[in-house]
Structure 1
Amino acid sequence: MKFFSSLAMSAMLATTAFAQSAVIGAPLAGSAVQAGCNITVEVDRPNTLTGSTEVGIVIGFLSCVGFNSNVCPPASEIMGSILYNGPYHPEFHTNVSRSKPPHQNFTVAIPTTAKTGPGQLSVAHFNLIGAGQFPFLETLNISVNVS
């Protein structure tokens, strides 16, 4: 019986954590970026009924040129050059033309040393979830093309 209660608790925590997941809303995967130029990174966090406290995010860039078959390792292993490290306060914005979840935009610069070719934009998102405030860390990434 203890097994089933542990299984149910694990499933509930996993479901709650999944509901708190962030998404990279912009740029779109496969977008072209230029070394040394600013881009806007939109980090969305869907609205949920479960309470949470945002702790912060890290945005990184990694050039994939030179890795095995020019494929970057997972963001959970390497973030690359840190473009932003700080607070995250997603909010609803009513002045947008389409309905969006709570989000925050960050203007960051692609490193001038970025090599032409495939790259990876990564986000590490950390928050505290639920009444007990258990810690939740996730990493996200999208592929971009440096031109």
Structure 2
Amino acid sequence: MQFIFSLAAFAGLALAQNAVIGLPKAGQTVAAGSDIIVQVQRPNSLTNSEEMAVAIGFASCGSGSCHPADEIMGTVVYNGKFDPVYHEAYLPPYQNFTVTVPSSFSAGNAQVNVAHATLVGAGLYPDMEALNQTIVIS
């Protein structure tokens, strides 16, 4: 029984390392060519970590389904430093990035993709994750 509790605790610590796309919200409608805020949140964890970077891209899905973010980032609009901090007491640390939705995108579903790289643990092993949020281009 202790093994199961230990396994659950380790899984919880691993998940606590994950970033989250706070903005735009899923299904939010945005205009092609407009500026939007992409908010990348990084909840605190008990495990030591050092942020490296994020990349933000947009992928048009057209009439089909979107590709997973770990397969294709689409049009990359930001690639650089990530330094999340507290702004409001009710939200985890985050950083806002003002980026431009590609003007070439046609109306329909699109995806905001985020690649997040960090160093985790006492020995600082590299960890990377890919996130996505579906939006609607008007």
TM over 0.5: yes
Q: What amino acid is aligned across from residue 48 of structure 1 in structure 2?
A: S
Secondary structure, in 3 states, of the residue corresponding to 2:110? strand
Secondary structure, in 3 states, of the residue corresponding to 2:117? strand
| CA displacement at 1:17 relative to structure 2 | 2.9
Secondary structure, in 3 states, of the residue corresponding to 2:73? coil
**In the alignment, which residue of structure 1 is the partner of 2:54?**
57
Distance 1:78 1:48 in 2: 28
**In the alignment, which residue of structure 1 is the partner of 2:86?**
92
| CA displacement at 1:142 relative to structure 2 | 0.8
Q: What amino acid is aligned across from residue 76 of structure 1 in structure 2?
A: D
| CA displacement at 1:48 relative to structure 2 | 1.2
Secondary structure, in 3 states, of the residue corresponding to 1:64? strand
**In the alignment, which residue of structure 2 is the partner of 1:72?**
66
**In the alignment, which residue of structure 2 is the partner of 1:114?**
105
Which protein has the larger Cα radius of gyration, Structure 1 or Structure 2? 1
Structure 1 or 2: larger strand share?
2
Gapped runs of 5+ residues in structure 1? none
The answer to whether the Cα contact below 8 Å between 1:17 and 1:136 also exists between their aligned partners in 2 is: no
- The answer to whether 1:28 aligns with 2:22 is no
Size of the aligned set, in residue pairs, is 133
> Which digits, 9 at most, give the CA deviation of each residue in 1:37-83, with x for residues without a partner?
000011001111211000000000000015xxx21110010010001
The normalised TM-score by structure 1 is 0.85
Identical amino acids, percent of aligned pairs: 49
The answer to whether the Cα contact below 8 Å between 2:13 and 2:45 also exists between their aligned partners in 1 is: no
> Which digits, 9 at most, give the CA deviation of each residue in 1:83-123, with x for residues without a partner?
10000000011xx4x61100000000001111111100010
The normalised TM-score by structure 2 is 0.90
Distance 1:126 1:144 in 2: 23
**In the alignment, which residue of structure 2 is the partner of 1:142?**
133
Distance 2:113 2:30 in 1: 14
Distance 1:61 1:20 in 2: 24
- The answer to whether 1:19 aligns with 2:10 is no
Secondary structure, in 3 states, of the residue corresponding to 1:18? helix
